[in-house]
């Protein structure tokens, strides 16, 4: 009797995707009344207790893990010293490693007041994933289906929380940057907060789509924080978004070469496009898979 109960429960759990969001059969969609989308509540994940728990998890678990599994190089954190209020961190996105790289490299005072925008249909389609990502990564849901931004990010900025956003909307399939959506620019302009571009290099090579763990051999990953970009009076979000994308492109260029060379190219409006070369897909993937140049070891004085 108990075995048949277990069998029934398993059948129901599997059939109704207890671990995921239930979807109607395709042929039933025209006849389906979709319930009004309710945003998964994440306020609890920003409570003092949750913040302390997250800090403990990140500093005690994730940071050592990231540093153990990758060769991490962080640059530009000094730009945050001059900023007081909330900002929107905008980064390129090609790996699940990216959020971890950002959170584990932010100074503690910033880490305690940052929330990460995450795709509602991916990170919030199962309760366990939603709870886990909200607790560990301080995520809040963002609908990607053209529904429009909820009031949550605006409310968070007003409460002094900084946001992390990946304006590409999804992980790059080939390591190069995709077209930026305007949500981050719109939010920054509307709430009059600066945008801090963050260039992430090597995460695609270290842990591309389809991998759940970084490649062995401690692949190099670089996190480079750039100077904040402020919206101009009367500036349209589209124009502001283009400036943000430009700033991120220069940061990526800087990461590949050096600061001065990148500045020179920027002055000549010759910054290489972060969207990568227009060549066959395999060549784009091939180049991205190589990753950034490894960190050069300091010359040893004594051999």
Partner 1 sequence: MPRPGFVLEVDERTPPLLVHSGESFRLQDFPLGSRVIYPPESLPGVPDVDEAIEQALLHPLDSEPLPSLLHAGMRLTIAFDDLSLPLPPMRKPDIRQRVIEHVLEHAARAGVDDVQIIAANALHRRMTPDELKAIVGERVFRSFFPDNLVNFDAEDRANLTHLGMTDENEDVEISKRAAESDLLVYVNVNLVAMDGGWKSTAIGLASYNSLRHHHNSHTMVHSRSFMDRHSSQLHSSAWRMGRVLNEHVKVFQIETTLNNDAFPSQYGFLTKREWEWSMRDQATFLGAKRGIDMMPAKARRKLFQSMEAPYLVTGISAGAVEPVHDATLERVHRQQLVDVDGQSDVLVLGLPYLCPYNVNSVMNPILAACLGLGYFFNMYVGQPLVRKGGAIILNHPVPWEFSTLHHPSYVDFFDEVLSVSTDPKVIEQKFEQQYATDPWYIHLYRTSYAYHGVHPFYMWYWCAHALDHVGDVIWVGGDRRAVARMGMRSASTFADALEMASDTVGRSPSITYLHSPPHVLARVNGSHP
Contacting positions for partner 1 (CB under 8 A) = 1, 4-5, 8-9, 11-12, 15-16, 22-28, 30-33
Phi, psi of 255 (to 5 degrees): -70, -35
Least CB distance to partner 1 at residue 13 (A): 9
Least CB distance to partner 1 at residue 122 (A): 17
Closer to partner 1 by Cβ: residue 33 or 270: 33
Closer to partner 1 by Cβ: residue 10 or 211: 10
- What is the sign of the dihedral through the CA atoms of 72, 252, 261 and 88? negative
CB 196 within 8 A of CB 225: yes
Q: Which residue has the tokens 């963002």?
A: 142
CB 170 within 8 A of CB 164: no
Determine the distance from the C-alpha atom of residue 26 to the mean position of all C-alpha atoms in its chain, rounded to a whole number: 31
Least CB distance to partner 1 at residue 107 (A): 42
Look at the chain and count its residues: 303
Least CB distance to partner 1 at residue 45 (A): 23
Least CB distance to partner 1 at residue 193 (A): 40
- Give the Cα separation of 161 and 87 in Å (integer): 8
Q: In sequence order, what E strands does 120-188 have?
A: 139-142, 162-165
Closer to partner 1 by Cβ: residue 127 or 282: 127
Closer to partner 1 by Cβ: residue 27 or 109: 27
Closer to partner 1 by Cβ: residue 23 or 293: 23
Closer to partner 1 by Cβ: residue 31 or 303: 31
3-state SS assignment for residue 91? strand
Closer to partner 1 by Cβ: residue 24 or 41: 24
Least CB distance to partner 1 at residue 2 (A): 10
Least CB distance to partner 1 at residue 43 (A): 23
Give me 293's structure tokens: 């140049």
Least CB distance to partner 1 at residue 133 (A): 22
Phi, psi of 155 (to 5 degrees): -65, -40
Closer to partner 1 by Cβ: residue 5 or 267: 5
Give me 109's structure tokens: 């005072």
Category of 12 on φ-ψ map: left (φ > 0), alpha (ψ -120 to 50) or beta: alpha
Q: Which residue has the tokens 């509602």?
A: 120
Sheet with 114-119, strands from edge to edge, namely: 71-75, 220-225, 195-201, 88-91, 162-165, 114-119, 139-142
């Amino acid at each position: 009797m108990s075995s048949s109960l277990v069998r029934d429960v398993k059948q129901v759990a599997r059939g109704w995707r207890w671990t995921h969001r239930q979807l109607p059969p395709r042929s039933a969609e025209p006849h389906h009344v979709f319930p009004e989308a309710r945003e998964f509540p994440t306020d609890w994940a920003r409570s003092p207790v949750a913040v302390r728990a997250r800090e403990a998890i990140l500093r005690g678990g994730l940071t050592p893990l990231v540093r153990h599994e990758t060769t991490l190089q962080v640059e530009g954190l000094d730009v945050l010293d001059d900023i007081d209020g909330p900002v929107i961190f905008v980064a390129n996105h090609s790996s699940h490693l990216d959020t971890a790289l950002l959170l584990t490299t932010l100074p503690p005072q910033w880490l305690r007041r940052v929330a990460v925008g995450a795709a509602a249909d991916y990170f919030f389609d199962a309760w366990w994933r939603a709870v886990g990502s909200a607790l560990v990564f301080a995520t809040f849901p963002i609908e990607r289906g053209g529904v429009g931004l909820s009031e949550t990010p605006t409310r968070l900025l007003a409460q002094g929380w900084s946001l992390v956003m990946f304006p590409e909307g999804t992980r790059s399939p080939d390591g190069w940057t995709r077209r930026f959506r305007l949500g981050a620019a719109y939010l920054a302009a509307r709430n009059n907060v600066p945008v801090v571009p963050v260039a992430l290099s090597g995460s695609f090579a270290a842990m591309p789509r389809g991998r759940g763990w970084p490649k062995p051999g401690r692949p190099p990953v670089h996190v480079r924080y750039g100077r904040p970009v402020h919206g101009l009076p009367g500036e349209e979000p589209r124009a502001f978004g283009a400036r943000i994308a430009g700033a991120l492109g220069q940061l990526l260029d800087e990461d590949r070469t050096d600061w001065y060379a990148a500045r020179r190219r920027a002055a000549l409006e010759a910054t290489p496009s972060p969207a990568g070369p227009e060549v066959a897909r395999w060549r784009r993937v091939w180049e991205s898979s190589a990753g950034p140049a490894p960190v050069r070891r300091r010359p040893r004085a004594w051999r």
